Amino acid sequence: MCSFWGSLHIAPDSSLDPFAAVAERVSGVPIWIFHGEADEIVPVEESRRMAAALEAIGADVRFTELPGVGHNAWDPAYDLDELPVWLFKQRRQ
């Protein structure tokens, strides 16, 4: 599995597609994934795959890939005026 999503320990070890397994488990929670395209710690492909797995099952997911941003994607994410507005509108389904 991947380093970030695998660290969540919510995908069964025997899962053929750990991204799909995680997506099923969190599908009722609105998710906005931010990832720096230049991240050298966690490959951006992992978030791309997670977003795709969530989209495949119709989960409420947004994915924002930040060009030129490294591992600190939270800095530009927290700078978005839209983030707190979106966050406080969310409810568990």
CATH label of the domain that carries residue 60: 3.40.50.1820
- In this predicted structure, the answer to whether residue 9 has a pLDDT above a threshold of 70 is no
The pLDDT tens digits of the residues spanning 12-59 come to 666 678 999 999 999 999 999 999 999 999 999 999 999 999 999 999
- Whether residue 74 is contained in a domain is answered as yes
**Domain residue limits at 60:** 17-89
Give the Å distances, CA to CA, from 26 to 20, 39, 74. Answer: 10, 24, 21
Alpha-carbon distance of 78 to 31, in angstroms, equals 15
**Residue where the block lists tokens 């991947």:** 2
pTM: 0.81
Query: Is residue 8 over pLDDT 80?
Result: no
Tell me, yes or no, whether 3 lies in a domain: no
34 within some domain: yes
26 in a structural domain: yes
Q: Is residue 12 part of a domain?
A: no
Answer yes or no: are the C-beta atoms of 37 and 69 closer than 8 Å. yes
Does the structure show a pLDDT above 50 at 2?
no
**What pLDDT score was predicted for residue 90?**
86
User: How far from chain centre, in Å, is Cα 72?
Assistant: 14
Residue 8 falls inside a structural domain: no
**How confident is the model at residue 20, as a pLDDT?**
93
2 in a structural domain: no
Number of structural domains (the chain) is: 1
Of 56, 54, 63, 48, residue with least CA distance to 25: 54
Q: What does the buried/exposed string (b/e) look like for 9-18 if buried means 16 or more CB atoms within 10 Å of the residue's CB?
A: eebeeeeeeb
Domain membership of residue 9 (yes or no) is no
The pLDDT, as a whole number, for residue 91 is 76
Residue 5 has pLDDT above 80, yes or no: no
